């Protein structure tokens, strides 16, 4: 019997800086993927103008669902809830303090939509070299899992205004058993799906004696549910040394919101460039759409010059297709990335090439259309 093609609704939020450039490159490549007879689905793209420009114009990054926008309501967060996935560029601009823009847009999407697991693969792609000498493809293949809902980025804390000489500011890290259980179960199950079944649990439990000790305890409890996973513990400071000195000893890594934020930038740099690294903000319960984005920021120094590496967005798009269950399409997209980086050597300057964003995008599309 003839099955209708599934159509996935994708929200596209370009955001600031090079965000819109890499997202439009991603959409072009995804359109080529849908057109391939190998992939039996359609994507429907919905563009959002949520950005710092919008904030400077209207005072809001995300409109209220009650606002009447051109005769339509429910154009805020509610409109994201009915999408199948979100493709996000970046947020941040010199004219808005970073803590306003980050909370105004990115965290205001991830937190209410319960995307509690942030997943960041790092691996050296063929044709891309690592700044670590002697480390090549296969020596560095990590999956970093970041707790994405609480910890150091809980948003709790404040500043007392007792006069300038006595000012005190607190930044409260919150760790709840229920959130730790869900992130540890997620991390152990991800580790168990990978060939090496190896998980490193990162903390700072020697110095931070409440939350981090609970983190260690919950890890140990959850480990008994996954007898096939080998696991070890590392303090975050020693972890940075191990990532540089012995990258092949690591596989899956789970860390707090702050620690994993830092470790994954290090991981991205060690794997070649922050321009290629992808990330997924997942709601593993699938009650809400998940959000996929390159890990790099708005890179305002290279806006509009054709220098933005779109590979981070392509790789994030491949993760999105995989999450939607479109494994073949996801594989095709990853093959196209390998083809550009290695065989035809079409790369942007940040990874040693001399091609533009547009040239890399066109090379991807040529590969996809010639391999269907
Ligand atoms: P944000 O505040 O938005 O996080 P940032 O100032 O931290 O931005 P990033 O955008 O993360 O900076 O990147 C740091 C530098 O790396 C940029 O200034 C840019 O030169 C380079 N860079 C980042 N992303 C890319 C990319 N996709 N392609 C090429 N170079 C990039
Ligand atoms: Mg940054």
Strands (E) located in 107-209: 117-123, 141-147, 151-159, 169-174, 198-203
Give the pairing of strands 117-123 and 141-147. antiparallel
Q: What local confidence, expressed as pLDDT, does residue 72 receive?
A: 81
How far is Cα 337 from Cα 11, in angstroms, rounded to an integer? 23
DSSP SS3 for 144: strand
Predicted pLDDT at 164: 73
Q: Which residues pair with 306 in a beta bridge?
A: none
| Residue to substitute in 277, 299, 337, 357 for testing ligand 1 pocket (most ligand atoms within 8 angstroms of CB) | 299
How much is the ipTM here? Answer: 0.94
Q: Is 296 in the pocket of ligand 1 (CB under 6 A)?
A: yes
Q: Is the pLDDT of residue 157 over 80?
A: yes
Pairing between strand 278-282 and 198-203?
unpaired
What tens digit of pLDDT does each residue of 25-83 get?
Answer: 999 999 999 999 888 999 999 999 999 999 999 999 999 988 877 788 788 999 999 99
Mean pLDDT value across the chain:
94
Residue with tokens 């991981």: 267
List, in sequence order, the alpha helices (H) in 276-356.
311-323, 327-338
pLDDT at 1: 55
Q: Which of 273, 307, 272, 279 is nearest to 294 (CA)?
A: 279
Which residue's CA is minimally distant from atom 21 of ligand 1?
A: 299
Work out the average pLDDT over 229-242: 97
**Residue 101, ligand 1, Cβ within 6 A:** no
Helices 177-193/211-223 angle, 10° precision: 50
pLDDT at position 238, please?
A: 97
Q: pLDDT digit string (tens) for 292-310?
A: 999 999 999 999 999 999 9
Q: For ligand 1, say whether the CB of 278 is within 6 Å of any of its atoms.
A: no
Cα gap 91→104, rounded to integer Å: 9
């Amino acid at each position: 019997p003839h099955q209708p093609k599934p159509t996935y609704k994708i929200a596209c939020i370009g955001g600031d800086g090079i965000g819109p450039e890499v997202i439009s490159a991603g959409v072009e490549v995804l359109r080529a993927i849908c057109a391939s007879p190998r992939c039996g689905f359609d994507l429907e793209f919905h563009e959002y103008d949520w950005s710092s420009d919008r904030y400077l114009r209207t005072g809001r990054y995300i409109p209220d669902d009650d606002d009447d926008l051109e005769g339509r309501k429910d154009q805020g967060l509610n409109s994201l809830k009915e999408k199948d996935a979100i493709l996000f560029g970046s947020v941040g601009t010199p004219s808005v303090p970073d803590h306003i823009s980050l909370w105004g847009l990115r965290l205001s999407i991830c937190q209410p939509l319960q995307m509690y697991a942030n997943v960041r693969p790092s691996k050296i792609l063929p044709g891309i070299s690592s700044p670590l000498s002697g480390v090549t493809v296969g020596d560095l293949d990590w999956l970093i899992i970041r707790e994405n809902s609480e910890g150091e980025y809980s948003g709790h804390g404040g500043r007392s205004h007792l006069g300038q000489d006595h000012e005190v500011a607190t930044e409260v890290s919150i760790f709840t058993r229920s959130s730790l259980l869900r992130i540890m179960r997620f991390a152990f199950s991800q580790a168990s799906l990978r060939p090496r079944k190896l998980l490193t649990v990162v903390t700072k439990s020697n110095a931070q004696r409440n939350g981090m000790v609970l983190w260690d305890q919950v890890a140990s409890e959850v480990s008994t549910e996954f007898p096939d996973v080998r696991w070890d513990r590392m303090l975050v400071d020693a972890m940075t040394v191990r990532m540089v000195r012995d990258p092949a000893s690591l596989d899956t890594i789970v860390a707090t919101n702050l620690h994993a934020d830092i470790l994954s930038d290090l991981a991205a740099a060690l794997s070649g460039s922050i321009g290629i690294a992808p990330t997924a903000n997942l709601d593993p319960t699938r009650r809400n759409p998940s959000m996929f984005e390159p890990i790099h920021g708005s890179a305002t120094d290279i806006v509009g010059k054709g220098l933005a590496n779109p590979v981070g967005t392509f790789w994030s798009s491949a993760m999105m297709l995989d999450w939607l269950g479109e494994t073949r399409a996801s594989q095709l997209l990853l093959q196209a990335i390998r083809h550009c980086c290695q065989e035809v050597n079409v790369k942007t300057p940040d990874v040693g090439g001399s091609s533009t964003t547009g040239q890399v995008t066109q090379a991807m599309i040529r590969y996809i259309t010639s391999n269907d």
